[in-house]
Amino acid sequence: MHTRTLIIGGGLTGLSLAYRLQQAGHDYQLVEARQRLGGRIKSLAVGNANFDLGPSWIWSGQNRVAALLAELGLRSFEQWSDGDQLFEQPNGEVMQNSGFMSMAGSYRIAGGTSALTDALAAQLDPDRVHVATPATENSANPMGAHVADDFINAENIVLAVPPRIAAGLSFNPALPDQAMTSLQAIPTWMGAHAKFVAVYPKPFWRENGLSGDASSRRGPMVELHDASPDDASYGAIFGFVGVPAAARANAGDALIEAAIAQLVNLFGPDAATPIATGLEDWSRAPFTAALADATPPPGHPLYAMPAALRDVWQSKLIFAVTELTSDNGGLIEGALAASESAARQILRA
């Protein structure tokens, strides 16, 4: 098989890049190692609603995602934040209106963040998109990649995967030491995170004057927010799990039970019987996180494109992912900034 551009990775960056190349009439193939598209964008589906297990928020001033939502016929809505916040002390005592984790002023995508990746995927030529198709080796001579039982010749290869995942791929010839060091040093955003969501028939906490926002020094969740759809057709609370990745590995159902018990302690007995739950541990997702990602960075890293990755294999090997842009790096907008930069480089050439 031959293509002008081979995109490795079917997350938001890879999908949006394929979409832009297709619009420009540029030949491409996209391969994704997972059984599904979307990468770190993933949802728990309940009825006709989707609940984010990956990134949830966008913000005003993020013009790329706003434009893309409009282009695809999608919309956003403001994160629910009306009502009191809660703070759970180490002994389990709950203090009302003393929290500090409100996401007021942020926005979510109607239909869940996966509505964005689903809409992008629906625009693509299905003959050019391949799931459950990992790339095993990237080659500079001939230019291309070994993919499943095939070799795809390409004029450009775009690695739209987290830097540490890219570092674990094979390259012939080997990447320069400085390029490999740069890839290994960049933490995967969300790579250490685990996220739990509980879904209910309605957002009952709102009736009690609560916003759904809570913070906790007890756990297992340390930060919680209302994750209900904009029409309140269901109620949902999600939380970031504060248990370290190594301790989560064998927690299994016990972690889910502890999370529900915490919701009961915070929001009352109506929280005891969710109609659905989802737990996503991104530290254990093999195509998202590397071993080094089990320890989270101390804050939001200052992401940028290292000089060592700018001109690899005469600029025919292109690294494009949200961790490699200084423009909203790590965020949804950053993923679109990365694909925009890659598309500009490819189409200009």
Q: Answer positive or negative: Cα dihedral of 315, 316, 319, 320.
A: positive
Residues 274 and 332 grouped into a single domain: no
CATH of the domain at 144: 3.50.50.60
Q: What's the pLDDT band for 97 if we cut at 50, 70, 90?
A: confident
Q: What is the mean pLDDT of the chain?
A: 96
Mean pLDDT of 210-214: 96
Length of the chain: 349
Antiparallel, parallel or unpaired: β 58-59 and 49-52: unpaired
Residues 33 and 142 grouped into a single domain: yes
Residues 102 and 163 grouped into a single domain: no
Residues 137 and 158 grouped into a single domain: yes
* Backbone dihedral angles phi then psi of residue 80, each to the nearest 5 degrees: -65, 130
Is the predicted pLDDT of residue 349 greater than 90, yes or no?
A: no
Q: Rounded CA gap, 27 and 48, in Å?
A: 35
Other C-beta atoms lying within 10 Å of the C-beta of residue 270: 17
> Per residue in 292-302, pLDDT tens?
999 999 999 99
The predicted pLDDT at position 250 comes to: 83
Residues 275 and 216 grouped into a single domain: yes
Q: What percent of the chain has pLDDT over 70?
A: 99
Residues 141 and 160 grouped into a single domain: yes
Q: Rounded CA gap, 86 and 276, in Å?
A: 23
- Tokens (6 digits) for 197: 């969501």
The predicted pLDDT at position 30 comes to: 98
Domain that includes residue 239, residue range: 46-112+192-284
Please state the domain count of the chain. Answer: 2
Q: Does residue 291 form part of some domain?
A: no
Mean pLDDT of 117-142: 96
> Per residue in 111-128, pLDDT tens?
999 999 999 999 999 999
**Among the residues of the chain, which ranges form H helices?**
12-23, 63-71, 114-123, 163-167, 177-185, 204-207, 245-248, 253-267, 332-348
Residues 137 and 227 grouped into a single domain: no
Mean pLDDT of 76-89: 96
> Per residue in 149-195, pLDDT tens?
899 999 999 999 999 999 999 999 999 999 999 999 999 999 999 99
Q: Does residue 267 form part of some domain?
A: yes
| Minimum mean pLDDT range among 130-134, 238-242, 252-256 | 252-256
